[in-house]
A and B are shown apart, each in its own frame.
Chain A
Amino acid sequence: MPGDTKTRVIAALAAPAAVAFAWYLAAHKPGETGLLPPCLFHLTTGLHCPGCGGTRAAYLALHGDLSGALRQNAFFIALMPLVAVYLFALTRYAATGTWAPPKITGRNLTVVITVFVIGFAILRNLPGLEFLAPTPLP
């Protein structure tokens, strides 16, 4: 059954918005130019959240520097294909009314991923594991 028009219009805007943001990000170096707010969690606590370095990673990836991107936030880059599939699902919903988002299911898998995300958040703040934390862009 097709969804209601309002949500379909919003869904239709998601993918173009993401492309527009990627376009904007490619032209603005994070931390130097542009309206790219820093992470509020990092700003208030000084710690790195699991998403910290994500903007820098995306910026480097958009400029073809994949190893640099992985260095900033490998988890963020690993999540990007999933986000792409999600955007595709949203666009498909806007076009056809069929809502079929990607899913991560399974009793063990969901727990493993939860532990992984929280573990990543903790580990990248520990001394000796600085290679997991993002660095300022050169």
Chain B
Amino acid sequence: MNESYEGVMKRKNEILNASVGVDYEKYLDEHGMFDYEKMMRDVPYDIDEIARIQNELGVGSTPLIELKNISKLARKISKPGKGARIFIKDEACNASGSFKARRAALSVYHAKKLGYKGVLAATSGNYGAAVASMAMKMGLKAIIVQECFDSNQIGQPEIVEKARKCESYGAEVIQLTVGPELFYKALSLLEDTKFFNASLYTNFAIAGIETLGYELVNQCRSQVGKEPDLVIATNAGGGNITGTARGMKKAGCNAKIVAASVNLEGLHMASDRDFNRKSFTTGHTGFSVPFTTWPDRSDVPISAARALRYLENQYTVTQGEVFYLTEMLAQLEGLERGPAGNTSLAVAFSLAQTMDENEVIVVQETEYTGAGKHHNSQLSFAKENGIDIVFGNPQDCVNGKTIVFPNSIEEIKAVEYSRRKLEKSLVRNFLNYNGFKVTSSVTKFLSEEINSDVSTVKDIIKELEGENESK
């Protein structure tokens, strides 16, 4: 068998189909368009059964906590009558410490049911710990493949911590230097071991998150006496938004859901030099923009995480603002949690000021913190890498050079990222990568992908054609 990079990549779809036990071809219609809802309907567990499976594994039923002090602070700088109530879903209480346990629980459960002896996940984040934890609970082997070191063997502390955590459960951790060839290594391992690909992007993984949206709506109803007015989810690969929104709909709630990401503009995701100049390893625009606008760049042939189908709009905040809110959460609410999960909290603090004081915002996750993951660990590491930590206007930060803490809480401002720009990129990517001619089935599919109407898709295509001609 040809084990070179080219040889393995040529067998990509064959390896992926075998390693998730799904024939993705069956979700394509006669025009080659993919039927998303059909794929999601094929998850052989309904939401009650998923909740039962998760609860037996120590996952789900996490508390919903009102952040009264942070809400009070937002109200102090809002116009009279403004300043919504902010609640947080304490997902750090899941086994392995993050909402990713919901995805992992169902993926690993399904892998076991299908008879796989082990699972593999390619991830540097909380998902690795989640898969390792669930695999051990269910008696399967686990391999976690992570991008961890720069070429000087300096590891990003948050990722090294994740390696420690995976090993603490007894998983094998494969640590790699920077580069997208991680995918090649993961494919080779899947082919050799015949393990299940516990991808973040299968329909099982996304169905696992639906319980989060479902729970938060029902908790709001019983604890607050009303449904949430706004739900904010940190966005990277799109699964968090997708699963949460789907779960909210299953609970009969159509509240707005917006995405939050850390702005990491200016830092290249595949750069050996930039790797350790990032203080956030997930929840940032380096993932959220490419994945939102081209979901099928993931490690399965068709991704079930399709954020633009669900998100109302996307906001960005800076690294400094998220660290600031992380400190605030500890100091004012007594909740010491990991920084990446607080991206949506930073957005909530800003948006709360524009909403009425009887309205309810739900920040739908927290994550565990600890050595390596703690914000002081990340900030100390940043300093060691020559990054200045200063007080000023967060919008003046230069990623990779400065982290700016706001001088005052008035300076914490979520910036809206143009939805139209995301829609346009998705349409462009879809047409470029698939090479489809524009037909009515294509425009209909794209209208579903961007959760809009066919005429909007046609307008975007016209705009793109105009741009091509002017080139």
Are A and B part of the same complex?
A: no
